[in-house]
Homo-oligomer: A and B are copies of this chain.
Amino acid sequence: MEPHEPDLTAVPVTSVLAALADDVRLQIVRALAEGGESACGSFDFGVSKATRSHHLKVLREAGLTRTRAAGTSRLVRLRRDELDQLYPGLLDAVLTQRPPA
């Protein structure tokens, strides 16, 4: 099966924003921004592995991440360069952790 990693310019901006507009997915994106390429299993944010897989699919299909197989794991990474080029400032704006309240 094709990995469904679309050309970023073909993804409507609302889809990109919607992908980022979820707490679990935002935590995944932040972890990727900090830790670089990581296995799916490393994102344990209190949801089941089915749900985690779903969120990673949403991120991938919104053009935010790329995935490659590595043994029994799959390694995910942020498409940061492409994102920064097409939407300069977006990731930076979203990634910086805010004061708690």
Contacts and interface: CB of A to CB of B under 8 A. Distances in A.
Interface residues on A, range: 20 to 34
Interface string A72-101: 000000000000000111101110001101
Interface of A: 9-10, 12-15, 17-18, 20-23, 26, 87-90, 92-94, 98-99, 101
Given A89-B93, A93-B88, A21 B17 contact: yes
Contacts of A101: 9-10
A14 B23 contact: yes
11 contacts: A9-B101, A10-B101, A14-B21, A17-B18, A18-B21, A87-B93, A87-B94, A89-B92, A89-B93, A90-B94, A93-B93
A26 B10 contact: no
A14 B25 CA distance: 10
Given A9-B99, A87-B94, 8 more contacts: A13-B98, A17-B18, A17-B94, A18-B21, A21-B21, A87-B93, A89-B90, A93-B93
